[in-house]
């Protein structure tokens, strides 16, 4: 079959099983758009800004495990996509981002809409390619998908100059079914000797703690993790990225850990004698002060990325490999023997954990007059039966979503944990809704974040994507205001958002349903009404208590045992 | 501590900037870096000299290994190896200095590659300390240009870094 570069690209995407292409046209990709016009196999979603395209593809990828695919033009098209690429990179999300480039003969001449896309994206991709010859196109695309989806996943950029896609130059095409790269062979199976050492250490624990991250979700290893945790009966905490890998409503789950983790999870981290880190990267928001981290613990760390092991915290038993495969092997060894942990010590450990839990660190003071943001998340949980896909933006609302909406399944909680990208939530929700058209999809956001990609409400209308937006509107950049209250003597420097739009009217102007809710009594009804509108996007603007803070909090430079508690919790702790 | 890391890279455009970018992005030191194709034209061999604590060196090697263009890597610091660097020095020489500079070059087994009425170009090879010593033995004000290759290193015996 003789095809042009554009035809090869579209045929390849079809052969690769790509369902959606999130994109925005422009000069350098017009040959490709002409081929998109000529086919129906890959559905193109026209976004309103390239950042939106990357976040939609990202949401799609996180919700399905399949790579998200993006097509943007050269120059500003590529630079607009960079924030979304960096977001996916920090959270190890498989994306393939195809960027147009000026023709090969014009590269380096400062041509119209030229940027060095490979250079600009190099630090925030897993890998990138510049395709200079149409004969390399199919193989390069195959490599891009292979690198993006294997090992520790991540975004891959393929920069394609316009002349490579020209319609008049046709070459033979065959789908490259396999790919071989001598320089890229991720280690998937854990070292047997290390696994045995880890098991010995795990079983010797008197005060064990399981700490898991996004790697468990990415590797679809939730079932293996549940089995592992249940056989041992150990307490488990998840990072922000790892929520849902272990059921959030299970009694062995003691909440998220880290800066806004639960008191019991952080205290258990501080006092544990064996820490089992799985698919997590000991990030600063989780660890706090490295020198105060788990002072009494021997540490096992399972991760597919060797560079994540002993990067910030020195571990004692490292295992490089796919977390699912390694957990599967450990589970097999546990099931095949009667070696079990010290039941007496474990019972005493659980007793201490329950005492920490009894201070009820997430408690907040209810109000009849002001809507408490936490209560909105709790009522959203009830209204959706705890079974929604929930995306979020970044800030206080993100933490409340993580604290008050327990996720029982992986891939249900979708947020920008690593890069902390405001504007992520709504476009990501659109990608999730495309992937799962019948699912309930909610975006928990704030008035600061939602504005950053608000234009995608238009995309939502064009493709009839009935997501539900839960805007916790406190008229402040809440997390900034909270830090200013705690660390800058309440000097609210540029954290108050003046001149906000009427969000309900704004949503309606895009053709959606808008609601403004300012009384606590109306919260539940509004949510039920919104979710009853199955085929409409509903924007719920909840006017919330502007003074509410996220508790508990481990301040920067502190240890897990030095959390700041809310007033009411502090009193219970003293009692 | 100073470490010498040898790498085999895919001979692709951009491979060098991936390595250099990694060092600047993660604030690692580079003391010297030299790179050129090998007998196999699909691969380039890089010799990189860096310094840091054991933890930092461990991260550097892991992060380098993670780069898709890095085929193989070996920290040869601890193994028996040969180190060489080449240096070209252009010196201003007039009158009695001509003999004096030639004598110093001979002591360092240097070769004079170019002679004009007022200048020499001298080639010296050796490890870094030898080249430093040569520079220090010259009259500073006479030195016009110094070009150094950066360190090249290779392990002794059977052990090595091959595709």
Residues of A in contact with B71 (CB under 8 A): 182-183
A307–chain B Cβ distance below 8 A for any pair: yes
Q: Is the pLDDT of residue B86 over 70?
A: yes
Q: Is the pLDDT of residue A192 over 80?
A: yes
Residues of A in contact with B69 (CB under 8 A): 183
| B17–A119 CB contact, under 8 Å | yes
Q: Is A473 helix (H, G, I), strand (E, B) or coil?
A: strand
**Which pLDDT does position A571 carry in this prediction?**
75
**Which pLDDT does position B25 carry in this prediction?**
95
Judged on CB neighbours under 10 Å (0-12, 13-18, 19+), B162 is: exposed
* pLDDT classification of A575: cutoffs 50, 70, 90: low
Judged on CB neighbours under 10 Å (0-12, 13-18, 19+), A438 is: exposed
Question: Which DSSP letter does residue A252 get?
Answer: T
**Residue A489: active-site member:** no
Residues of B in contact with A184 (CB under 8 A): 68
**Which pLDDT does position B96 carry in this prediction?**
86
**Residue A162: active-site member:** yes
Residue (of A443, A437, A406) closest to A424 by Cα position: A443
Residues of B in contact with A183 (CB under 8 A): 10, 68-71
| A122–B17 CB contact, under 8 Å | yes
Judged on CB neighbours under 10 Å (0-12, 13-18, 19+), B153 is: buried
Residue (of A255, A257, A262, A254) closest to A566 by Cα position: A262
| A130–B14 CB contact, under 8 Å | yes
- Residue A392: count other Cβ atoms within 10 Å of its Cβ: 32
Residue whose entry in the numeric block shows the structure tokens 């041509």 = A111
* pLDDT classification of A262: cutoffs 50, 70, 90: very high
* pLDDT classification of A498: cutoffs 50, 70, 90: confident
Question: Which DSSP letter does residue A248 get?
Answer: T
Task: Please write the tens of the pLDDT for every residue from B94-113.
Answer: 888 899 999 999 999 999 99
Q: Which residues contact A513 (CB under 8 A, 6 or more apart)?
A: A507, A530, A533, A536, A537, A538, A539
Residue whose entry in the numeric block shows the structure tokens 């196109």 = A137
Residues in chain A: 575
Task: Select from A124, A179, A307, A314 the residue whose CB has the most chain B CBs within 10 Å, as the one to mutate to test that interface.
Answer: A307
Mean local confidence (pLDDT), A496-519:
96
Do residues A289 and A382 make contact, with C-beta atoms less than 8 angstroms apart?
no
* pLDDT classification of B48: cutoffs 50, 70, 90: very high
Task: Give the C-alpha separation, A573 to B114, whole Å.
Answer: 83
A344–chain B Cβ distance below 8 A for any pair: no
Question: Which DSSP letter does residue A496 get?
Answer: B
Do residues B95 and B77 make contact, with C-beta atoms less than 8 angstroms apart?
no
Q: What is the pLDDT of chain A when averaged over all its residues?
A: 97
CA distance A129 to chain B (A): 9
**Residue A56: active-site member:** no
Do residues A64 and A411 make contact, with C-beta atoms less than 8 angstroms apart?
yes
Do residues A75 and A114 make contact, with C-beta atoms less than 8 angstroms apart?
yes
Q: Is the pLDDT of residue A36 over 70?
A: yes
More reliable by pLDDT, A226 or A566: A226
Tokens standing for B12?
Answer: 């692709």
Task: Please write the tens of the pLDDT for every residue from A55-89.
Answer: 999 999 999 999 999 999 999 999 999 999 999 99
Residue (of A575, A573, A525) closest to A363 by Cα position: A573
Task: Please write the tens of the pLDDT for every residue from A281-309.
Answer: 999 999 999 999 999 999 999 999 999 99
Residues of B in contact with A123 (CB under 8 A): 21, 25
A310–chain B Cβ distance below 8 A for any pair: yes
* pLDDT classification of A6: cutoffs 50, 70, 90: very high
Which member of B21, B55, B71 has the closest CB to residue A183?
B71
Residues of A in contact with B17 (CB under 8 A): 119, 122
**Which pLDDT does position A271 carry in this prediction?**
98
Mean local confidence (pLDDT), A155-180:
97
Mean local confidence (pLDDT), B1-17:
94
Residue whose entry in the numeric block shows the structure tokens 């890959």 = A42
- Asked whether the bond before A552 is cis by omega within 30 degrees of 0, the reply is yes
Helix (H) or strand (E) holding A97: strand A95-101
Q: Is A91 helix (H, G, I), strand (E, B) or coil?
A: coil
More reliable by pLDDT, A34 or A1: A34
**Which pLDDT does position A287 carry in this prediction?**
94
| A123–B13 CB contact, under 8 Å | no
Residue (of A505, A431, A500, A486) closest to A463 by Cα position: A431
Q: What part of A 74-133 touches B (C-beta under 8 Å)? A: 118-119, 122-123, 126-127, 130
From A1, A2, A112, A174, active-site residue: A112
* pLDDT classification of A335: cutoffs 50, 70, 90: very high
Tell me the whole-structure pTM to 2 decimals: 0.96
β B2-10/B32-37 pair status: unpaired
Percentage of chain B beyond pLDDT 90 is 93
CB contact burial A84-93 (16+ within 10 A = b; e otherwise)? bbbbbbbbbb
Q: Which residues contact A23 (CB under 8 A, 6 or more apart)?
A: A29, A44, A45, A46, A47, A53, A70, A71, A72
Task: Give the C-alpha separation, B24 to A2, whole Å.
Answer: 44
Q: What is the pLDDT of chain B when averaged over all its residues?
A: 95
């Amino acid at each position: 079959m003789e095809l042009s570069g554009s035809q090869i690209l579209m045929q390849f995407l079809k052969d690769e099983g790509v369902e959606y292409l999130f994109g925005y046209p422009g000069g350098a990709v017009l040959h490709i758009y002409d081929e998109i016009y000529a086919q129906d196999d890959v559905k193109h979603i026209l976004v309103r800004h390239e950042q939106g395209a990357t976040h939609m593809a990202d949401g799609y990828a996180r919700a399905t495990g399949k790579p998200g695919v993006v097509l943007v033009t050269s120059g500003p098209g590529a630079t607009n996509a960079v924030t979304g690429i960096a977001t996916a990179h920090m959270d190890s999300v498989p994306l393939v981002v195809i960027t147009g480039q000026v023709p090969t003969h014009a590269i380096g001449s400062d041509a119209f809409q030229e940027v060095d896309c490979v250079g600009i994206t190099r630090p925030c991709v897993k890998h990138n390619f510049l395709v200079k010859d149409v004969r390399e196109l199919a193989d390069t695309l195959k490599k891009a998908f292979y690198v993006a989806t294997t090992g520790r996943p991540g975004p891959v950029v393929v920069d394609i100059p316009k002349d490579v896609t020209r319609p008049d130059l046709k070459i033979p095409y065959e789908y490259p079914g396999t790919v071989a790269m001598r320089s890229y062979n991720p280690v998937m199976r854990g070292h047997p000797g290390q696994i045995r050492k880890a098991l010995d250490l795990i079983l010797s624990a008197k005060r064990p703690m399981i700490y898991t991250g996004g790697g468990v979700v990415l590797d679809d290893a939730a079932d293996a993790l549940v089995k592992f945790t249940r056989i041992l009966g150990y307490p488990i905490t998840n990072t922000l990225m790892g929520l849902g890998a272990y059921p959030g409503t299970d009694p062995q789950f003691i909440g998220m850990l880290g800066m806004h983790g639960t008191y019991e999870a952080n205290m258990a981290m501080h006092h544990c004698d064996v820490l089992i880190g799985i698919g997590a990267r000991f990030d600063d928001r989780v660890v706090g002060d490295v020198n105060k981290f788990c002072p009494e613990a021997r540490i096992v760390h399972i991760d597919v990325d060797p560079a994540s092991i002993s990067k910030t915290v020195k571990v004692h038993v490292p295992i490089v490999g796919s977390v699912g495969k390694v957990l599967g092997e450990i589970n097999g060894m546990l099931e095949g023997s009667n070696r079990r942990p010290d039941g007496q010590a474990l019972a005493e450990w659980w007793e201490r954990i329950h005492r920490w839990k009894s201070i009820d660190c997430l408690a907040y003071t209810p109000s009849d007059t002001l809507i408490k943001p936490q209560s909105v998340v709790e009522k959203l949980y009830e209204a959706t039966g705890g079974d929604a896909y929930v995306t979020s933006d970044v800030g206080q609302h993100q933490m409340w979503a993580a604290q008050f909406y327990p996720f029982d399944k992986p891939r249900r909680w979708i947020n920008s944990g690593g890069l902390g990208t405001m504007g992520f939530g709504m476009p990501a929700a659109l990608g999730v809704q495309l992937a799962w058209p019948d699912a309930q999809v909610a975006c928990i956001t704030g008035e600061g974040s939602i504005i950053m990609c608000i234009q995608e409400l238009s995309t939502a209308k064009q493709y009839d994507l009935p997501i539900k937006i839960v805007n916790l509107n406190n008229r402040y950049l809440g997390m900034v205001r909270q830090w200013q209250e705690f660390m800058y003597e309440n000097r609210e420097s540029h954290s108050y958002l003046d001149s906000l739009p009427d969000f309900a009217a704004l949503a309606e102007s895009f053709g959606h349903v808008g609601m403004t809710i300012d009384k606590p009594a109306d919260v539940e009804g509004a949510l039920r009404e919104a979710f009853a509108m199955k085929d409409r996007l509903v924007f719920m603007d909840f006017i919330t208590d502007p003074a509410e803070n996220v508790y508990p909090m481990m301040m920067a430079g502190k240890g897990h045992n030095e959390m700041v508690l809310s007033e009411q919790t502090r009193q219970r702790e003293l009692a | 501590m100073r470490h010498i890391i040898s790498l085999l890279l895919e001979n692709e455009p951009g491979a060098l900037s991936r390595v250099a970018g990694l060092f600047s992005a993660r604030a690692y030191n580079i003391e010297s870096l030299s790179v050129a194709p090998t007998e196999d034209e699909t691969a380039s061999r890089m010799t990189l000299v860096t310094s840091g604590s054991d933890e930092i060196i461990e991260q550097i090697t892991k992060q380098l290994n993670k780069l898709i263009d890095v085929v193989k890597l070996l920290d040869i610091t601890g193994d028996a190896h040969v180190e060489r660097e080449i240096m070209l020095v252009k010196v201003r020489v007039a009158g009695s200095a001509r003999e004096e500079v030639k004598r110093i070059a001979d002591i360092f087994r240097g070769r004079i590659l170019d002679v004009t009425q007022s200048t020499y170009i001298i080639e010296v090879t050796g490890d870094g300390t030898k080249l430093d010593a040569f520079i220090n033995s010259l009259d500073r004000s006479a030195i016009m240009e110094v070009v150094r290759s950066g360190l090249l290193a290779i392990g002794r015996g059977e052990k090595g870094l091959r595709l």
